[in-house]
Amino acid sequence: MAAWARGSTNWWSPHPVELDPMYARYRSRLSRANLARYLATQPALDARVFAGGAGACLSFRNTNIGTYPMHAGYTPESQECRSCLLQDTAHALKWNGFSGVLVYWLACFAAAGWPIARSVPGGRRRAFGLVGLALIGCTVVQYTTAVYGEGDEVTKHLSPALFAAALAPVWLVAGAFQQRRARPVVVAPRRASSLLWRTTASLR
């Protein structure tokens, strides 16, 4: 099981674990609980698996499955492109690997935290910041669960994370253009009573 875990294979690999002659013997032991206990004792492997998900995430979609039927007249494994801008951007950033993904996450968290900390409750700037924070938070959660919990279709299940990550800066930029709401002025009780006395005296 340890050798299989280190092998980083999946169903689409040239030699998947499921076709290993010894797989039937150890299949009952390959439970999520056993794998979780094993990974808990292998921090280096945990980090490698987590960082390795960046390649699948920035791939955007599987390249070994085509969109069209076999006799549709297209080149085998041809794919229809409906989100070309996002797909091309993800492919262009693929050379950065996990370091680029991590920097992007941290930048979005910082950009979302700034309007939340600097705006008043109920303001639009804070609302946009909270939405951006929720989007990038969903991205990290989806990335983590897909990388550690999905062994066959990691790329497909990372697409929602990529869409959420793409929407986060849109909300954050839109929030930056919202008019800043002034903080309410709180008047001290003694000063308020003095101001009331002066106003009353001037009206006499």
5 close to 31: Cβ distance less than 8 angstroms: no
Q: What is the mean pLDDT of residues 43-49?
A: 86
Look up residue 53 and give its two tokens: 């998900």
Q: What percent of the chain has pLDDT over 90?
A: 11
Give the domain ranges of the chain.
42-181
Q: What local confidence, expressed as pLDDT, does residue 1 receive? A: 46
Enumerate the H helices of 19-96 as residue ranges.
23-26, 32-40, 43-59, 84-92
188 close to 173: Cβ distance less than 8 angstroms: no
pLDDT at 137 over 70: yes
Residues in the chain: 204
Q: What is the pTM of this model?
A: 0.67
Look up residue 202 and give its two tokens: 């001037």
Q: What local confidence, expressed as pLDDT, does residue 3 receive? A: 47
Question: pLDDT tens for residues 70-117?
Answer: 677 766 666 666 666 777 777 777 778 888 889 999 999 999 988 888
CA separation (Å) from 97 to 12, 77, 80, 110, 171?
A: 21, 25, 25, 21, 25
Q: Using 50, 70 and 90 to split pLDDT, how confident is the model at 198?
A: low
Using a 10 angstrom Cβ sphere, with 0-12 exposed, 13-18 middle and 19 or more buried, the burial of residue 123 is: buried
Four-CA torsion 138, 143, 148, 154, nearest 10 degrees: 130
